[in-house]
Amino acid sequence: MAKKNLIELAIRSLKKYDSERGLIFTKSGDDYTSVSRRKLFNDILSVYEYLKKHGIKPDDKISIISENRTEWIICDFACMLLRAVSVPIYTTLSPESIKYILKDSAAKVCIVSNNLYLDKVLSIESELHDLKMIITFSDTDRKAMIPIINFNDLLTGSKDRKTRDIIHTLEQTSKSIKDEDLLTIIYTSGTTGVPKGVMLTHKNIYSNILSITNVLPIGEEDLFLSYLPYSHIYERTAGYYLPFFVGAKICYAQSIDTIGVQMAEVKPTVVITVPRLLDKIYNKLIKNYEDMPNSINKKILGWAINVAKSNWNNKKSLKWKIADKLVYSKIRQKTGGRLRLFVSGGGALNKRIGEFFEGIGIITLEGYGMTETSPVISVNRVDKNKYGTVGTPVDGVSVKIADDGEILVKGDLVMKGYYNNKEETDNTIVDGWLHTGDIGEIDEDGHIRITDRKKSLFKSSGGKYIAPAHIEEKILQIEYIDQVLVIGNNRMYVTALIVPEINAFKELAKKLCANVETESELFQCEAILKKVTSDLNEVQKDLAPHERVRKFTLIEQPFTIEKGELTPTLKIKRKVVEEKFSNLIEKMYLKV
């Protein structure tokens, strides 16, 4: 029986693909430097040998606090060869959160990419009794009780192994790796509660990679532009392991803000994304259109935008072909001209935005998953793409709907459990079925539709159940609204915290509030508040009366990861935001 571990996949990739070809690309100045598969595995084996020599054993925990980079991959594979367990940590976490993860996992080694993250660890080192070694990718003059080692020291004197020798070493090492060996513990940030350590085995992730390759047309001619963090299983599986094992190239985006420029430079074919990036691209295009002076070009662009919205699934029509020649082809050229797929996950994709991108010639496939399922449960297919759904289950995955509407999942992708938390594990996995916490339905074609989080559902004081995600999706159709959080649990009516897209809001102010001079005044302008109220009423007209937002408060600063208000996939942490803005929320319920 074939072994189901990632080292086996690595061996296959070394045998099948050109090991000298550039695999990982990183921007340095104005140029991109590349690392080949053979060079990468030479370094992986050097790090593996160093850590083994210094006492790292199977099941030891090794944490990684770093942005996406080649060294991240090297350390990840070195952990696999050691049969150690990688524990990725988000770079945005506070020292207190990092301490919780390092202590709970009993990490022996902590790997950091720079002095900023090193300082976070050193600020809590006296409480990290299990930590024996810190490895840093950058030069440092910091002193500590725990030994600090430069990553380059691990590579000193490394051998220049030939591909066949690398394969031989991996084959010998792979013999001791079991399918059920723990590969990683990922602490979920979640939108509520204390982080839980999700234990994923080789078999979990191996099965998910194979399932994805069976349903998505990905191959060695593809180039992925990677911007989501490897600390999140979504990017790690779909944006790193998947291209790595099918022979595709990976190019690192410097940040979400540089993606537009880098698309034109590297010409990606696939981008693993969250809906927020697509929202930003769409809103920027609409703003550019609105800012254009009246001209024939503006009329053509406006007409083409409408054609993309109405004819997105009819590319054989004459109107679409004309619009493509005049407009869409130029938009696609700005993405590099080769972009075939946006694969969207980590949150709900607005149906009309998905259709719009398809309308301009870029297929957007929405999928569904969670850390506990390695992560992909379902995804739309290129030939069976139904916007507003998260597609059908990937191969080897069973999905059913419980009596209360909760989505249940079974298959090799389901986690081993939560680390040090048997009670939560037993509550989540019952008779082999993982209880996702998501509410949904399966349509006549087998496509899954997510309607809300089970924990997010709330009951009004009148006893009516309300799904906030459905309302939030409606409100986000208003083009000048960037973020929204709906509130109403045990309340007499529904309210909302609304973060406008500031540039679009300023443009609105020019038309409605001529005397406004500061941003603070902008948020108090009576004409703007009336406009927001009117637009809210319009998008909510199909909702039941008890679901409609009756009052709202405008928030001047966007919710961010850095302030702890968003998860790494840019979902709002409901509990955190409700606590932070509790005074503003209570004001909306005064005199009730």
User: pLDDT at residue 191 above 60?
Assistant: no
The reported pLDDT for the residue numbered 189 is 64
Beta bridge partners of 485: 497
Residue 584 Cα distances to 19, 391, 461, 499, 577, angstroms: 58, 38, 20, 13, 11
Is 469 found in the same domain as 351?
A: no
The domain that holds 550 is classified in CATH as 3.30.300.30
User: pLDDT at residue 38 above 50?
Assistant: yes
Helix (H) / strand (E) element for 527: namely helix 526-539
> What residues have CB less than 8 Å from 430, skipping those under 6 apart?
none
The reported pLDDT for the residue numbered 591 is 64
Per residue in 337-363, pLDDT tens? 999 999 999 888 989 999 999 999 999
Domain's final residue, options 177, 212, 245: 177
In the structure encoding, which two tokens stand for residue 332, read together? Answer: 């696609």
The reported pLDDT for the residue numbered 348 is 86
What are the φ and ψ backbone dihedral angles of 29, each rounded to 5 degrees?
A: 70, -125
Per residue in 552-580, pLDDT tens? 999 999 999 889 899 888 889 988 999 99
Is 477 found in the same domain as 362?
A: no
Enter the pTM of the model: 0.88
User: pLDDT at residue 193 above 70?
Assistant: no
In the structure encoding, which two tokens stand for residue 111, read together? Answer: 């790997």
The reported pLDDT for the residue numbered 121 is 98
Q: Please give the residue range of the domain that contains residue 106.
A: 1-15+26-177
Residue 352: inside a domain: yes
The reported pLDDT for the residue numbered 192 is 47
- Give me the number of domains the chain comprises: 3
Is 121 found in the same domain as 42?
A: yes
CA distance 419 to 311: 49
CB distance 515 to 576 below 8 Å: no
Is 463 found in the same domain as 430?
A: no
Who wins on pLDDT, 503 or 399? 399
In the structure encoding, which two tokens stand for residue 473, read together? Answer: 């999706």
Residue 193 CA, chain-centre distance (Å), reads 19
Residue 3: inside a domain: yes
Is 430 found in the same domain as 509?
A: no
Domain's final residue, options 144, 177, 210: 177
Tokens 């950058």 correspond to: 138
Residue 436: inside a domain: yes
